[in-house]
Amino acid sequence: MKPTKFYLITDTHYFKNSLGAYGEEYERFMDFEQKCFAETQSINEAVIDWLKKADEADTVLIAGDLSFNGEKESHIAFTKLLGELKDSGKKIYVVTAGHDFNDKPFAFTDGGRITPEGTKFTELYDFYKDFGYDDAIEFNKEHLSYVAQLADGVRLLVICNDIDGKKHITYDDEFLGWIEAQAKQAQADGQMMIAMEHYPVLPGQPVLALIGDAWQAESKKLIETLADNGVHLIFTGHMHNQSINVTETEKGNKFYDVCTGCTIGCPAFMRLVTIQDENTVKIESIPVPEFEWDKKGMDSAGYLKMQFERMIRTLIDSMANDPVRFMRKLHIKESPVTIKAVAFVGRKISKMTVGKLAWLLCTKADKEIRNNNFVDLAIDIARNVFVGNQPFVEGTPEGNTLLRLFRRISKFKKTIKDSQGNELDLYETLKHTVGNYGIDDYNATLKLN
């Protein structure tokens, strides 16, 4: 087979700005948002313009959450934009996801929250039939899933687990059987097959395994169905994080999950993927291009980082200053006692240094960071979970301090269970959450076998 290249983007969350994204209630909503909202039209226009001119590949994959929250006008405008990209000579393959269909999407004006016209799941085929569905070798309309001939010798399996009436589903035996049949047919036809789904199949970072919505339900079944039938690589999105992870099935087959940051929030990256041969795939990361907006003198990356840190800092600050808002955001049951407790903890955390926290846990912080504010360190940790290539490894002041803290914590609780019931070593989970000891999350060459 000849080398094959394609670009990949995900979580475009296109919102037609004229629907309304301004006002006091909009600003309160954005206090807790990682991704941009009003800016998404401008960002996506910049991305599509860049892809039109990009000449290293003539194919673009988009891994779901195409619209902000299922607004019909957003789909109309976004598919027009994709049509322009297709007219420039690019082939486009999409998968839809939960943010693409909604009976009651929302927008904001000075009068508060409003409800624009939504989109039904059954309408998505007509919107996106020109971007994968109508070119499919095999098509499963119930799941809006399909197989496409990506290039000579390479097939793409696109699978969707947000379907009509259900979101984030566990794949049943019938659909897993359909997936297995496509993988076996590719093998019989002498084709390499890769996959794309919106939800990560492996948790992007270890701590994300604790969140049920952060990865594919009952992922082990899907991994075995794919990897044990010759499909060793999947491209995902959803969590807006940069990560590359690998596992191995009981039969000894490797399986890689390449998750890519969203286009409209920190970290904002695209991928250029080169399939060099059936065993070798090169992954490169490309920053989302500069976009037109009042970015307060910052470049695009700095502006998106500012929004991410606004989300984390607002959440932490609200513990002390607005505990009810904090509890409602995290779905914590309110009572006079818990409200006072949250406010007390919030006030203490806001003033705490890294050294003080270490002292409370009967250990010590490296002198280089002893007097640093703990909230600032917590924000860095949270952002790095999404940015990837987490820098706080053993040998750094932050890494050394955090590992001592984690050892103390793990003396009280050695194991925890992830959202799918798997037992995890608490210390190792925390260690690999703050520091990347594995594959580079941005640029890597993957050996599939």
Tokens 């919107």 locate to: 127
Token pair, residue 300, equals 């695009």
Which DSSP state fits 370?
T
d(CA 110, CA 438) in angstroms, rounded, equals: 48
d(CA 449, CA 442) in angstroms, rounded, equals: 21
Residues 109-147, buried b or exposed e (16+ Cβ, 10 A)? eeeeeeebebbebeebeebbeebbbeebeebbeebbbbb
Tell me what pLDDT residue 1 has.
81
Going along 378-425, which residue ranges are E strands?
Answer: 415-417, 423-425
d(CA 369, CA 50) in angstroms, rounded, equals: 41
d(CA 369, CA 352) in angstroms, rounded, equals: 12
Tell me what pLDDT residue 192 has.
98
d(CA 122, CA 160) in angstroms, rounded, equals: 14
The closest of 168, 178, 101, 171 to 146, measured between CA atoms, is 178
What's this model's pTM, rounded to 2 decimal places? 0.96
Q: Domains in the chain, ordered, with CATH? A: 4-292 (3.60.21.10), 300-434 (no CATH)
Backbone angles phi, psi at 264, to 5 degrees: -120, 20
Per-residue model confidence as pLDDT tens for the chain (449 residues) = 899 999 999 999 999 999 999 999 999 999 999 999 999 999 999 999 999 999 999 999 999 999 999 999 999 999 999 999 999 999 999 999 999 999 999 999 999 999 999 999 999 999 999 999 999 999 999 999 999 999 999 999 999 999 998 899 899 999 999 999 999 999 999 999 999 999 999 999 999 999 999 999 999 999 999 999 999 999 999 999 999 999 999 999 999 999 999 999 999 999 999 999 999 999 999 999 999 999 999 999 999 999 999 999 999 999 999 999 999 988 899 999 999 999 999 999 999 999 999 999 999 999 999 999 999 999 999 999 999 999 999 999 999 999 999 999 999 999 999 999 999 999 999 999 999 999 999 999 999 99
Neighbours of 190 (CB within 10 A): 9
